[in-house]
Amino acid sequence: MPRPLRLVFAGTPEFAVPSLRACLASGAEVVAVYTQPDRPAGRGRKLAASPVKQAALAANVPVEQPETLRDAGARARLAAHAPDLVVVVAYGLILPKAVLALPRLGCWNVHASLLPRWRGAAPIQRAILAGDAETGVDLMQMEAGLDTGPVLLEARTPITPEDTGGSLHDRLAELGARTLADGLARVLRGETLMPIPQRAEGIEYAHKLDKAEARLDWNEPALALARKVRAFDPWPVAEAVIDGERLRIWAAQAVDGAAGGAPGEVVARHRDAIDVATAAGVLRITELQREGGRRIAVRDWLNARRDGVAA
């Protein structure tokens, strides 16, 4: 009787947890889980285990946390697990060529975009910021370049006008897990997945998010600002100065028509929203957060201000 497929999983954040669970349920033998070392978190800055580590320990799978895989000792320890396949999902460490060549079936990666569009660190948010109508996940055969490997399987999903960075993150995490499960099932049945090289055109890089990007510039169009609000929920969260007060903006939508005021000016107050003029159109804000406060509806912010009125 042939031995089961030996699989090593490498991942760190919450996005990777559904894919780890797909591996555990696949029928393959998950011989080890690799994740980044525990990092300080929270107000107390105590060391905290990654979501993937927590899920692995709950499933009684051995956990490895090397600082790097460029070290010969770390590579030797990985080789000792004798993996047939390494599955990588948002691991956060670079896999050297020696590691990519180690497993019999190579290394797979679940990436949250339709490659070659949005290679890199923040594909979910970049797709929203660009106004893309569609995104998805690619199961990719890894190679030395940054997200350049051929695609084994792909699944698509629309980006709705209501999608935020958080909601799209969660949907793509589950879609990625289902796509990975499909790939593993095929391999376990003896199939060979056919790698399709990425197109040479349409390459875009999803650079890592910077908190400075979240500051809204009222000299931009309302449509672009609304996309920023959605993309930066839940992190780093859009922020702006409104009526002299610095606020975090959690929910807003673009409204067509003449702004009727200078960019950044509050041009209307409604019961549940405020309208702020932009370079083109109006940004209608419905949820915000004061410094040191919690996320609240605009009507509560209006009621808390002396000049707040409900129109």
In angstroms, the CA 211 to CA 51 distance is: 23
pLDDT tens for 83-108 read 999 999 999 999 999 999 999 999 99
How confident is the model at residue 19, as a pLDDT? Answer: 98
How confident is the model at residue 2, as a pLDDT? Answer: 64
Residue labelled with tokens 């954040």:
13
- What is 211-304's CATH number, 3.20.20.10, 3.40.250.10, 3.10.25.10, 1.10.357.10? 3.10.25.10
How confident is the model at residue 306, as a pLDDT? Answer: 53
Strand-strand pairing, 245-255 and 282-290: antiparallel
Domain parsing of the chain, residue ranges: 6-206, 211-304
pTM of the entire predicted model = 0.94
How confident is the model at residue 90, as a pLDDT? Answer: 97
- What is 6-206's CATH number, 3.40.50.170, 3.30.70.120, 2.30.40.10, 3.40.228.10? 3.40.50.170
Residues annotated in the binding site, as ranges? 113-116
Asked if the domains at 6-206 and 211-304 fall in one CATH topology, the answer is no
pLDDT in tens, the chain (311 residues): 467 899 999 999 999 999 999 999 999 999 999 999 999 887 778 899 999 999 999 999 999 999 999 999 999 999 999 999 999 999 999 999 999 999 999 999 999 999 999 999 999 999 999 999 999 999 999 999 999 999 999 999 999 999 999 999 999 999 999 999 999 999 999 999 999 999 999 999 999 999 999 999 999 999 999 999 999 999 999 999 999 999 999 999 999 877 789 999 999 999 999 999 999 999 999 999 999 999 999 999 988 875 544 43
Residues annotated in the binding site for (6S)-5,6,7,8-tetrahydrofolate, as ranges? 113-116
